[in-house]
Amino acid sequence: MRTHEKYPVLAAIAVCLLTVVFLWSTRSVLSPILVGGLLLILLSGMKDFELARKLRAGIGVILGVWILSNAQGIVIPFLIAFVFAYLINPAVDFLERRRWPRLLAVTAVFAVLFGGLGLLAVLVVPDLVREIQDLIVRLPQMIQGAIGLAHRHLPRLFGVLQIDYAKVEEDFLVHRYPAKVEEILIGFMRGLSGMGTWLSRLLNVILIPVLTFYFLKDYGRMKSGLLGYVPRKYKSLANFYLWRSNRIVGGYLRGQLIVCAIVGLLTWFGLFLFGNPYAVMIGIVTGILNLVPYVGLYVSLGVALISCPFSAHPQWAAVQIAGVFLVVQSLEAWVISPKIVGDRVGLHPVMVIFSILIFSRFLGFWGLLLAVPVAALLNFMVNEWKRHQKWKDMRVEKCRPPKD
């Protein structure tokens, strides 16, 4: 580097160091928004340096993530509404291609959607409430039966294992069980005292459909506006990545929702034919948990088998539930999912389970839902990077002069 080229770099380093010292000394009265904004202003004056541009982009991303994480109550309804709009948009586009005005297409889709949900609620909710009430009434009986079963069989098992059953029973019933009950009651009282959160959730129930409607109405305009920030030479590449990402994430989520609805309906119908008293509840739980590949099947089967002691013939009820799950899951694996979802994710089952465990660890319930499509999107990005590297290597080989 020449001597006259060193001075701007040294000046930039000196400014950064002085800025860091100043911010550290005034950290008690500054907020991350103010600090991030100040750094962005300082770095905007150094556009000629590649490092300054990268720092500005990194600071912008970090500042955006911090704002989103500290404004979850405000951002989450907008995010949920945008996801709903993203999932429903193909139906609106379908009507728009049939020469329907955009506003009329959105209104028609909303009318069909809410009409279907209302009809489903009228048909399902009364039976679901009845099953839950029956379960609550019979729950003490089940608990007493489980305790009696434990008293009959656990001493013999503990004797084989050479464990003092009386000591374990006293430790659990006298010490741990009351503490757990007290903890549950305290949590319940805290929930009652936090009724304000329920009011905010009720507001979200009203707000999310309204936001979804407006997102759908202006979906194409928002997409064009975002693509307007992409430089012209990268526009075709951005459109390709957007199309491919939509095919992976959107196609998987929409298809999986349809599959879950079919699986829940078939499970309910199968158990209804056998006269299971909790067919509606098991069908709904199975449909929801089917959103989580592999893991959801075993969890929903375990939840369904818990209802067996409430039946007149528990062993026969367990056989019925296992048979219904076997038939429905076989249809889902070999017929329903290949026809509706297909091989959109292209992930190995081990990678699917690993991504579910990782995402659920950091994002909880939302991680369970987003693990597979996000992992598939990352897999696509990695494969694209490998393809570009291979293409660059081939160009280098072609440009290399032949050996003598």
Q: Output the CA angle 94-85-99, nearest 5 degrees.
A: 25
Q: How far apart are CA 47 and CA 197, in angstroms?
A: 46
Q: Output the CA angle 387-390-394, nearest 5 degrees.
A: 135
Q: Quick one: angle between helices 72-97 and 251-273, nearest 10?
A: 90
Q: How far apart are CA 371 and CA 376, in angstroms?
A: 8
Indicate the helix (H) or strand (E) that contains 373. helix 365-399
The mean pLDDT value for 260-285 works out to 90
The mean pLDDT value for 303-308 works out to 78
12 touches 49 (CB < 8 A): yes
The mean pLDDT value for 73-91 works out to 85
Q: How far apart are CA 98 and CA 94, in angstroms?
A: 7
pLDDT at 219: 87
In whole numbers, what is the pLDDT of the chain averaged over residues?
A: 76
Residue 28 lies in a domain: yes
Residue 161 lies in a domain: no
Residue 19 lies in a domain: yes
Winning range, highest mean pLDDT, from 200-214, 326-340, 386-400: 326-340
246: tokens are 């939509």
Q: Which of 314, 204, 304, 235 is nearest to 263 (CA)?
A: 304
> Total domain count for the chain?
1
Return all residues near 96 (Cβ < 8 A) that are at least 6 apart.
Answer: 102, 105
Is the pLDDT reported for residue 138 higher than 70? yes
Residue 37 lies in a domain: yes
Q: How far apart are CA 224 and CA 183, in angstroms?
A: 52
26: domain range?
3-70
Is the pLDDT reported for residue 107 higher than 90? yes
Q: Provide the 3-class DSSP secondary structure of residue 401.
A: coil
The residue among 377 and 400 whose pLDDT is bigger is 377
Is the pLDDT reported for residue 252 higher than 70? yes
Residue 42 lies in a domain: yes
Please tell me the least confidently modeled range out of 76-80, 226-230, 318-322.
Answer: 226-230
pLDDT at 265: 92
pLDDT at 34: 72
Report yes or no on whether pTM surpasses 0.75: no
Is the pLDDT reported for residue 266 higher than 90? yes
Q: Quick one: angle between helices 365-399 and 349-363, nearest 10?
A: 120
Residue-wise pLDDT for 147-182, tens only, equals: 666 666 666 666 666 666 566 665 665 555 555 555
385: tokens are 């990077």
Q: Is the CA virtual torsion 106, 112, 116, 118 positive or negative? A: positive
Q: How far apart are CA 253 and CA 369, in angstroms?
A: 9
Residue 133 lies in a domain: no
The residue among 359 and 145 whose pLDDT is bigger is 359
At 356, which amino acid appears?
I
pLDDT confidence band for 19 (50 / 70 / 90): low
Is the pLDDT reported for residue 99 higher than 80? yes
Please tell me the least confidently modeled range out of 139-148, 192-201, 377-386.
Answer: 192-201
Burial class (CB in 10 A: 0-12, 13-18, 19+), 265: middle
Residue 47 lies in a domain: yes
Is the pLDDT reported for residue 137 higher than 70? yes
Residue 176 lies in a domain: no
